[in-house]
Amino acid sequence: MFDTVLIANRGEIALRIQRACRGLGLRTVAVYSEADADAPYLQAADQALCIGPPAPGQSYLNQAAILFAAKISGAQAIHPGYGFLSENAGFAARVEAAGLVFVGPSAECIRTMGDKVAAKRAMRTAGVPCVPGPDQALPSGPAAIHAIADAIGYPVIVKAAGGGGGRGMRVVHEPATLIDALAVTREEARRAFGNAEVYIEKFLSHPRHVEIQVLADSHGNALWLGSRDCSLQRRNQKVVEEAPAPGIPVAQVAAVGERCAEACRQIGYCGVGTFEFLYENDAFYFIEMNTRLQVEHPVTEMTTGIDIVQQQLRVARGERLSLHQADIVCTGHAIECRLNAEDPRSFAPAPGWITDWVLPGGFSVRVDSHAGAGYRVSPYYDSMFAKLIVHGATRADALDRMRLALAEMQVGGIATNLALHREIMDDSGFTAGGVDIHHLERWLAARAVA
Ligand code: ADP
């Protein structure tokens, strides 16, 4: 049991977690870098402590500083948010070793899921459908490796077992380039992730990105909370997310969701998590599990009515889930737009001072943001300054509501992607539903030519 939570993150998610804590009557300790010293959300915390200079390595990734802040503030739990230390098994282990609660799964679970080959093996065992390809270390001989790729069928993709952030992957279209691609990816992986293990799987050419949110307690109970579609991406970065994934039969989502919940039970998973799938030709293929809260969790909250962050804190406190799978009813449709401070043409981050700030409002409109007039979007961190989320009775209603909200929202002083989102909401491909992960880039390329 704990009554004080240190929030080891910044920005909108730090505020989101703070609100969840307050809703449960928990005290909060905010930590911040020198670049965030003026952030308004710090005022709302019970205590705020500076943990270092702006560079993430010296502040939000500085494990010793964060553990020290927990010690002097008396926090008994640490919520890592997303990004930064949220999927760092070593940090989770240090938190546990310090006698504190890491608000997330055990270090062991994070380690297993952080190794994509081990994760794939665990998922297959639980009956979760995976991308065709072995879930064992690759053999060393070229002939044996060729035999594996031939059996999968070209094109294949070579991936780093320890990869993340869309790096450490290479598509191979023909046998002649396979061995070289393996060597290059291995070397890249060794340098970037400190783990040279690579594996091969089928490359899917036009998949959708569909994911399943799960919630599990420490008593062996696990639930799945519906699907999300995050196919609208640019350079592997999600731009728009929605729940549920449009056009996929409810029974098919339920079958996969059940396998995800079963996988959680089998590996002793506790907390919230996301199973990411590629969806192609009416089939789900597991690619990875994120062992943390996701940026896009609000669309699931809007469709299920469940406060995912409060549930996450409750299970971290050792509480038994009071919900049962039959209680989880997904109603209507929710859409989230990620609003970034960026150049509308080059997409380069464009930090700066926000001078004007008009938020949209009305029925079923939600803005998750730490920003406002007078706030400076920092050059040191991610350029996302707000998430605009709407809910509607149907997908068409949600789209209409999002168009209105985007028209109402005004942000001055910085360049943003608001105009891009307005255009996306009128794109016939997107509004029809079910686009693949290359749709946005194709659409942007066509727009650039026109
Ligand atoms: P990361 O941890 O780096 O995000 P993922 O395994 O989630 O890595 O893959 C990131 C992205 O790479 C996916 O969203 C998808 O666009 C692409 N990708 C990964 N595996 C495949 C595959 N087998 N076929 C096609 N695209 C893939």
- Residues with Cβ within 6 A of ligand 1? 131, 157, 163-166, 169, 201-204, 207, 209, 236, 276, 278, 287-288, 437
Q: Give pLDDT, residue 122.
A: 94
CA of 166 to the centre of ligand 1 (A): 7
Euclidean distance between CA atoms 196 and 162, whole angstroms = 8
* CATH superfamily membership of 132-202: ATP-grasp fold, A domain (3.30.1490.20)
Q: Give pLDDT, residue 450.
A: 79
CA of 287 to the centre of ligand 1 (A): 7
Query: Scanning the structure block, which residue is given the tokens 């060794």?
Result: 190
Dihedral in degrees, nearest 10, Cα atoms 33, 29, 320, 324: -60
Residue 3: which pLDDT band, with cuts at 50, 70 and 90? very high
Query: Scanning the structure block, which residue is given the tokens 């804590």?
Result: 21
pLDDT digits (tens, 9 = 90+) for 77-128: 999 999 999 999 999 999 999 999 999 999 999 999 999 999 999 999 999 9
Q: Give pLDDT, residue 51.
A: 98
Among this protein's residues, is 366 annotated catalytic?
A: no
Ligand 1, atom 10, residue with closest C-alpha: 166
156-160 sheet: strands from edge to edge: 169-172, 156-160, 198-202
Which burial class, exposed, middle or buried, applies to 1 when counting CB atoms under 10 A from its CB (0-12, 13-18, 19+)?
Answer: exposed
Euclidean distance between CA atoms 435 and 280, whole angstroms = 11
pLDDT digits (tens, 9 = 90+) for 264-274: 999 999 999 99
Mean pLDDT of the chain: 97
Structure tokens at 157: 């993709």
DSSP-assigned letters across all residues of 19-32: HHHHHTT-EEEEEE
- Choice from 169, 203, 291 to test ligand 1 binding pocket (greatest atom count within 8 A of CB): 169
Q: Give pLDDT, residue 164.
A: 84
Residue 59: which pLDDT band, with cuts at 50, 70 and 90? very high
Q: Give pLDDT, residue 448.
A: 87
Q: Give pLDDT, residue 204.
A: 98
- Choice from 287, 288, 294, 437 to test ligand 1 binding pocket (greatest atom count within 8 A of CB): 287
Euclidean distance between CA atoms 156 and 145, whole angstroms = 12
* Check whether domain 208-449 has CATH 3.30.470.20, yes or no: yes
pLDDT digits (tens, 9 = 90+) for 359-397: 999 999 999 999 999 999 999 999 999 999 999 999 999
DSSP-assigned letters across all residues of 122-190: HHHHTT--B-SS-SSPPPSSHHHHHHHHHHH-SSEEEEETT--TT-SEEEE-SGGGHHHHHHHHHHHHH
Hey, what CATH class is 4-103 in? alpha beta
On the question of pLDDT at 232 being above 90, the answer is yes
Q: Give pLDDT, residue 388.
A: 99
Q: Which residues contact 333 (CB under 8 A, 6 or more apart)?
A: 242, 243, 244, 246, 303, 391, 392, 393, 394, 395, 397, 398
Q: Give pLDDT, residue 166.
A: 79
Residue 202: which pLDDT band, with cuts at 50, 70 and 90? very high
Rounded mean pLDDT, 3-9: 98
On the question of pLDDT at 134 being above 90, the answer is yes
Rounded mean pLDDT, 133-139: 92
On the question of pLDDT at 41 being above 90, the answer is yes
Which residue, 195, 176, 183, is CA-closest to 158? Answer: 183
CA of 401 to the centre of ligand 1 (A): 31
* Residue spans per domain, the chain: 4-103, 132-202, 208-449
Q: Give pLDDT, residue 273.
A: 98
Q: Give pLDDT, residue 444.
A: 96
In the three-class reduction of DSSP (H, G, I as helix; E, B as strand; rest coil), residue 335 is classed as: strand
CA of 175 to the centre of ligand 1 (A): 21
| % pLDDT > 90, the chain | 97
pTM value is 0.97
Phi-psi domain of 194 (left: phi exceeds 0; alpha: psi -120 through 50; beta: other):
left
The 3 state secondary structure assigned to 341-378 is EECCCCCCECCEECCEEECCCCCCEEEEECCCCCCEEC
Q: Give pLDDT, residue 167.
A: 85
